[in-house]
Amino acid sequence: MILWGVGGVPIGALVAGIGLLLYSDAKGSTIWKFGIGIFLGIILILGLGAIGHIPPLFGIGGTLILLLFIGIVWLWAKERMALKGSSTTAADLKLVGYVFMLITAWFVCGIASIPFLKALEGEAPTSPVHVIVFFVLGWLFLFLSHYKSRKQQG
């Protein structure tokens, strides 16, 4: 359980990403850049976590998430206008997944900030059940969009 909690998902994602790059005949330099980049990113994030709570990072991160979401929706809209048939359904499922992921990020920020807000000291934290539901829904719709896109191609 400790191994899973400390590094299971990042290590698994790194191994899966490298495996998929190998499977898809990516160049060796691409595989090395991916592996080193992800590894250094994980180390940087863990290093930031060791520094302690840095409130401005959350404001900056939230702003970046919103800007990225707006960018994704803008690109999604342009892509969807060119689609026909069941490809539009796949695109719509992607949009639903992105919306659930944005909502989840918003809820996670709220839950994570509660221990650091003086105004809410002593308050019982809310149940994070909605977070897992939004995460699952987000990933489900992203999966469905990829499944639907694959059906269209085949």
This prediction's pTM: 0.69
Mean of the per-residue pLDDT values for the chain? 81
**Residue 7: half-sphere exposure toward Cβ, Cα within 13 Å:** 10
Per-domain residue ranges of the chain: 1-52, 55-154
pLDDT digits (tens, 9 = 90+) for 40-67: 887 887 777 677 777 777 788 888 888 9
pLDDT digits (tens, 9 = 90+) for 88-135: 888 999 999 999 999 988 888 877 777 777 776 777 666 677 777 778
Evaluate whether 95 touches 76 at the Cβ level (below 8 Å): yes
Examine the pLDDT at 153 and tell me if it is beyond 60.
Answer: no
